[in-house]
Structure 1
Amino acid sequence: MNLKKVSIIVPCYNQAQYLSEALQSVLDQTYTDWECIIVNDGSPDDTEKVAKRWCKQDLRFNYLYQENGGLSSARNFGIAQAKGDFILPLDADDKIGPNYVSLAVNSFQEDSFLKVVYCKAEKFGNEIGLWELPSFSLHDLSRKNLIFCSAFFRKEDWILVGGYDTNMIFGWEDWELWIAILKNGGNVKCLEEVGFYYRIKSNSMLRTINSDNEIAILNYLSIKHADFYVKYYGSFKSMENQLREVKRENEVNLKSEKFVIDVFCKKFFGFTIFGKYK
């Protein structure tokens, strides 16, 4: 079997204190045909010092520097230099399990239609335990992100969609990439083994997306991938008709004294007056 090189891209900005843990998890991989590109995104801390130490330890580690451009820009910069057929982004404060790369490459070899491979995941740091991820479907992907950032994809697909969108400055840039790669077809596989470890910190980006930024992200996704959203939700007119029908049904229900009393009793007392509680 002709196995392929994997490029692991590790952007780093003010994460030097965690970087060695991430790189050690790369070095521990049972699959050996990899390169790891560490991208210093203009970080003011000791990122360069730590990264160069690892580059001396193993020639498969490579170090790049760019002026601060944000996470999407740093990932794109690293991937552009990558020699691998398959790409794995890894944030500098996270870790991967020793079999993750091997299992992912085998999966790509077995299924030529496979576009994204991810795995079971665990949280560590300020919160520990299995990260309960929902099952994947394109319809559910239209509603929320279902795949964490450290999933495998082909470099050719990254090129095809134009890479990570640097307009996604508030986060969820990985969600946008999965939509771009998958909306026109292709298989997705979740490995049964825990292969990704996500560090929970008090200032994690996913925890700092405020409501205004969330609205901006969703509006941007709706415009950029209008074809994807229309496919699953219909046109704005069909959505308006659906909302009008729901409103009509609610108005009819609220006019029913029986309905109002039943809802009140079920919510506050756990039983209904006129019907059997379910």
Structure 2
Amino acid sequence: MTESVSPVFSIIVAVYNAQRYLEETLRALSAQTFSAFEVVMVNDGSTDQSAELAQKFCDQDPRFRLFHTPNQGISPTRNLAVQHATAPWIAVCDADDTWTPDKLELQHRFIQQWAATQAEPMLALGTSGDLINGKGEQIRMVNTQERPWPTVLHDEATLHELHMINSSVVFQREVFLRLGGYRAEYTPTEDTDLWVRFSEHGAVINMPDHLTHYRMHSSNISESHYPVMILNLYRIQANTERRRQQLPEWSAEQFTARMRQNRPQYVRTMKNLQHMKYYNRAKNRWGNGHYLGVVAPLVQACLVSPSRTVKLFLRSEVYRTSRLHWRRHPG
């Protein structure tokens, strides 16, 4: 891309102590076959070598730009990156995730085809992808449904599942700014809150193509803040309905107070969330090959709810794979 070509996509990368994976991420962006993009990186007060790594890419490629801010968290950092962006479409990529080389090219083609054939405006477009561990090895495939929002909000059983891969999504900058951007009060589900609000004004779509690699490791916010994440999903669910009724949204404090009005149900909910925090931590450790690290969180999960832990384990991929191995190699 020459400097005279205006970017179609501004790729925003929020950077905080990401040196372990950042170079791999930025190389994946550099390798995109669709070249009409810029990369807007915001260093959120990192204390490692992340800023120096990011600056190397700026020195090598004028499409890369780096800004700095004192540590303020993921939502304000992404919002700042969008403020510095110049393209009509924003592409999100977390500093530990990667893309296939044709990701932006295929998304750009999909957007053009949609605009030519559909009356409804497309506001956000994600992709399917792969869940990978810290070494970049595939844990499992993530097959996202075409239109998850707002329909998923009505399905309590699957509400907590990964319905849009944040690092896969491109969205219209103008609409993002009009809706107020990411809302820090919903962290670590600020992305889900945004996609749901987008879906109230136009199409929020997932492509079936596996174009995004979403990394799971011990530093993921979703692992350490699982109860808060799920409670935020419930609040998103409630506030979507309140917006539909033209009622003011509940704050986190108001929503929690309302949940506590039914004390037995609230206690059960918090117990289940605490259990899932430990169980998911064990799953994450296993997926990253930290087999000894599985023991402590699995024991904690059993202490909270032994029957639920057993049920989840019997439905797990680890158990199914082990049974298949035992059947093929008895003894």
Aligned with residue 142 of structure 2, among 127, 131, 141: 131
Q: Deviations over 1:35-92 (max 9, x none)?
A: 0011101111111110111111111110010111111111000011101111011100
What letter matches 2:92 in structure 1?
P
**Aligned-partner Cα distance in 1 for 2:241–2:11:** 27
Q: Deviations over 1:223-253 (max 9, x none)?
A: 47622489xxxxxxxxxxxxxxxxxxxxxxx
State TM-score, norm by structure 2: 0.63
The answer to whether 1:160 aligns with 2:163 is: no
Larger Rg: 1
Give ranges in structure 2 of 5+ residues lacking alignment: 116-120, 247-331
**Aligned-partner Cα distance in 2 for 1:224–1:114:** 20
Q: Deviations over 1:256-276 (max 9, x none)?
A: xxxxxxxxxxxxxxxxxxxxx
What does residue 204 of structure 2 align with? 188
**Aligned-partner Cα distance in 2 for 1:134–1:190:** 6
The answer to whether 1:5 aligns with 2:16 is: no
**Aligned-partner Cα distance in 2 for 1:187–1:219:** 22
Instruction: Report the alpha carbon displacement of residue 135 of structure 1 after superposing the two structures with TM.
Output: 4.5
**Aligned-partner Cα distance in 2 for 1:228–1:33:** 38
**Aligned-partner Cα distance in 2 for 1:38–1:142:** 32
What letter matches 1:172 in structure 2?
T
**Aligned-partner Cα distance in 1 for 2:74–2:245:** 26
What letter matches 1:179 in structure 2?
V
Instruction: Report the alpha carbon displacement of residue 222 of structure 1 after superposing the two structures with TM.
Output: 2.5
Provide closer, same or farther for how the CA distance between residues 201 and 101 of structure 1 changes in structure 2, counting only shifts above 3 A. same
* Residue pairs, 1:242-261, within 5 angstroms: none
- Asked if the contact 1:87–1:155 (Cα under 8 Å) also holds between the matched residues in 2, the reply is yes
State TM-score, norm by structure 1: 0.75
Give ranges in structure 1 of 5+ residues lacking alignment: 231-278
Instruction: State the superposition RMSD in angstroms.
Output: 2.5
The answer to whether 1:201 aligns with 2:209 is: no
* Deviation larger for 199-208 or 138-147: 138-147
What does residue 262 of structure 1 align with? none
What does residue 260 of structure 1 align with? none
**Aligned-partner Cα distance in 2 for 1:228–1:25:** 40
> Runs ≥4 in structure 1, deviation > 6 angstroms?
none
**Aligned-partner Cα distance in 2 for 1:225–1:123:** 31
Instruction: Report the alpha carbon displacement of residue 110 of structure 1 after superposing the two structures with TM.
Output: 2.2
The answer to whether 1:146 aligns with 2:154 is: no
**Aligned-partner Cα distance in 1 for 2:232–2:204:** 28
**Aligned-partner Cα distance in 1 for 2:205–2:235:** 28
Provide closer, same or farther for how the CA distance between residues 102 and 208 of structure 1 changes in structure 2, counting only shifts above 3 A. same
What letter matches 1:17 in structure 2?
R
What letter matches 1:202 in structure 2?
S
- Asked if the contact 2:41–2:65 (Cα under 8 Å) also holds between the matched residues in 1, the reply is yes
**Aligned-partner Cα distance in 2 for 1:221–1:137:** 13
- Asked if the contact 1:3–1:105 (Cα under 8 Å) also holds between the matched residues in 2, the reply is no
What letter matches 2:125 in structure 1?
V
**Aligned-partner Cα distance in 1 for 2:38–2:7:** 11
Provide closer, same or farther for how the CA distance between residues 106 and 4 of structure 1 changes in structure 2, counting only shifts above 3 A. farther
> How many residue pairs get matched?
228
**Aligned-partner Cα distance in 2 for 1:175–1:119:** 15
What does residue 73 of structure 1 align with? 76
Provide closer, same or farther for how the CA distance between residues 3 and 213 of structure 1 changes in structure 2, counting only shifts above 3 A. closer
